[in-house]
Amino acid sequence: METLKDLVRGVKVDSQAAVLLTSAACGVGALLMVMRTVSEHQTVNDKIQRARSRRTENLQRAEQEVLRYKQSHPSCDSGAILSLSLSELTKQLREGSLCPEDVFYSYMQKALAVHKELNCCTEILLESFDQLRTIGSNKDGLLYGVPISIKDNVSYKNYDCTCGIIMNLSQPAKKDSVIVEVLKKQGAIPFTKTNLPQALLNYDCSNPIFGQTVNPCNPQKTSGGSSGGEGALIGGGGSILGIGSDIGGSIRIPASFCGICGFKPTAGRLSSQGIVPIYRGQKCVLSSPGPMARDVDSLALCMQALLCDHMFSLDPTVPPLPFNLQTYQSSKPLRIGYFEHDGYTQPPPSMVRGLREVKALLEQAGHTVVPYEPLRVSQAVNELILKGVFADGAATMLQKLKGGPLDPCLKPQIVLYSIPNWLKRILVFLLTPFVSSASLSPAEVWKQHAAVEDYISDTIAHWRKRNIDVLLCPMIGPAFNFLYCGLSSLTMIYNLLNFPAGAVPVSTVTAQDEEDLKHLKGLYQDTWEKMHKEAVSGAEGLPVAVQCVALPWQDELCLRFMKEVEQLVKHKKN
């Protein structure tokens, strides 16, 4: 009996001890977890702080260099230099009536001033000062002495390609991207890297490392995504030529929002080696680097400079097709397909008005404009683009964002991707088109690729039937308010099709456009359209652009068409 009592007492003591021990273990575990979280948080903050400090230091060093140069060269007429077009600038540099130093320091000074206003630069490439010293050896280059800006995700040796993601900090590029190498060889001087939205798939331009870039025409508006730093810097006059990247409109959208020109070439025409994507390996929708500038001639010159033997030998996967100047300079009348909406996205009245004005100008100039109806756009966006880009159920993106702060412009997207599939299926009506981020099996991915191939060949057949050379169609814009989270079909469809496409500014939003917007009914009268209407409101005075498109590999024809539009609009104004 005694023994049993002892035993029970012992067990009691043991179970108390066990409770105590378990509680202590839990407490220690929780403490360790809190400590780990705090330390991870600290590491993240330290990394962000380091990146910001580096930017600040480099900006200050650049400012000092500019000051020193300007003091010792009082005759440097920056106003005159900054007002030159790229073709005038390159001509004067070539002839020697302008020196590369005056040009470089004028643009550096202007970029620093624009950055202060718009927060568009992520790095000043200090090596550019060294490159300037030896630039004489590249005198024959097509871009001799031209300062050039590059988007954050374009590799430049020793600098991060952050893509606005913490995980990418302190991972400096081991070498220059092929595009940077070729630009340097052609005499261009990359001098700054520019901002983008966290993870690149956004119409806004903000990330937790470098913050929000604002629009040069109205700081209450975004400069656009994802090459929004380029849009803001070039639109603000701080760069004459820039390189962006585009998988859903990221060159064309900031160009449209900031009143400049942007060109997305056929994917594969320019080397993508060293351009950091968000979804490496994703092949349903193709990304393409391309130029952004104030006028179409600058885009063409940049393409001409890049499409050279040096690029073809550095990256033999690029087809050795030099720039076809004859096509670019041709003036043969064109047969132009035309539509004002694609049945998926209703552009606001300002963009439709701009489009109609351009259509009338083209007809007056002797071109033939015929109606064109884009094929199965809903299916293309919901089933081909979104399912294809998120074939991994958005896992790659979510993985890359782990452990770091989320930017407010990305949060709504991430919330949508994080909803479990069973709930998505229930909320399908509410969530479409975002319901597509459910992972696919390999067999489904193959089916997806086949469906994309079919869509491309059906669209090409449709063009042939209409017998059109190019397409004039709506562009996304005018510039959105911050934090818009919706989806437009207007640009991404040409990434899916892999057709070259460009944005050209043609007008500005009038008071009447704003009034008409208030009465816009839209195609579906749903929440997405309501959000879109809100995003484009308050845009009076902001740029209005159109989109020009050609068939794959007809990049020069697309540029030629863009140039025609630009010229007609210019002559109408004068």
Ligand X SMILES: CCCCCCCC/C=C\CCCCCCCC(=O)NCC(=O)O
Q: Closest distance between ligand X and the C-beta of residue 248, in Å?
A: 3
Binding piece for ligand X, criterion CB under 6 A, among 128-136, 184-192, 195-203, 362-370:
195-203
Of 103, 234, 487, 490, which lies in the binding site for ligand X, with binding defined by CB under 6 A? 487
Strands (E), 78-178: 121-124, 147-151
Question: How many Å apart are CA 430 and CA 221, to the nearest integer?
Answer: 27
Decide: helix, strand or coil at residue 544: strand
* Spatial CA neighbour of 498 closest among 449, 551, 446: 551
Which residue stretch of 41-49, 201-209, 322-330, 449-457 sits at the interface with ligand X (rule: CB under 6 A)?
201-209
> Considering only residues 402-421, where is the footprint of ligand X by CB under 6 A?
413
Nearest 5°: the CA angle 301, 328, 91 is 35
| Both structure tokens of 470 | 């190019």
The Cβ of residue 521 has, within 10 Å, a number of other Cβ atoms equal to: 8
User: According to the annotation, is 97 in a ligand binding site?
Assistant: no
- Per-residue contact string for residues 274-303; x = within reach of ligand X by CB under 6 A: ---xx------x-x----------------
Q: How many residues bind ligand X (CB under 6 A)?
A: 22
Considering the rule CB under 6 A, would residue 155 count as an interface residue with ligand X?
no
Structure token digits, residue 548:
């020009």
Residues 336-395 that bind ligand X (CB under 6 A): 385, 389
For the question of residue 193 being annotated catalytic, the response is: no
Q: End-to-end CA distance of the chain, in Å?
A: 112
Choice between 299 and 569, CB closer to ligand X: 299
Q: CA 471 to CA 320: how far, in whole Å?
A: 26
Contacts of 120 (CB under 8 A, 6+ apart): 114, 194, 195, 213, 223, 228, 229, 230, 232, 233, 236, 238
248 is in an annotated binding site: yes
Q: How far is the CB of 147 from ligand X (least distance, A)?
A: 23
Report in angstroms how near the CB of residue 211 gets to ligand X at its nearest.
19
Annotated catalytic residue 239: no
Binding status of residue 201 toward ligand X by CB under 6 A:
yes
We find the least distance from the C-beta atom of residue 423 to ligand X, in angstroms, to be 18
How far is C-alpha 139 from the chain's CA centre?
A: 31
Residue 226 falls in the annotated catalytic set:
yes
CA-to-CA dists, residue 504 to 152, 252, 351, 541, angstroms: 23, 9, 12, 16
The neighbouring-strand residues paired with 189 are 147
* Tokens coding 414: 């991430």
Residue 495 as a binder of ligand X (CB under 6 A): the answer is: yes
DSSP strand pairing (470-474 vs 543-550):
antiparallel
Indicate which single residue of 187, 249, 290, 337 sits in contact with ligand X (rule: CB under 6 A): 249
* x/- letters, 431..470, toward ligand X (CB under 6 A): ----------------------------------------
Q: Which stretch binds ligand X (CB under 6 A): 51-59, 112-120, 196-204, 303-311?
A: 196-204
Nearer to ligand X, 58 or 288 (CB): 288
Task: Tell me if 484 contacts ligand X by CB under 6 A.
Answer: no
334: nearest Cα among 572, 563, 570: 563
Binding residues for substrate: 200, 226, 247-250
Q: Which residues are catalytic?
A: 151, 226, 250
Residues that bind ligand X (CB under 6 A): 200-203, 225-226, 245-250, 277-278, 285, 287, 385, 389, 413, 487, 492, 495
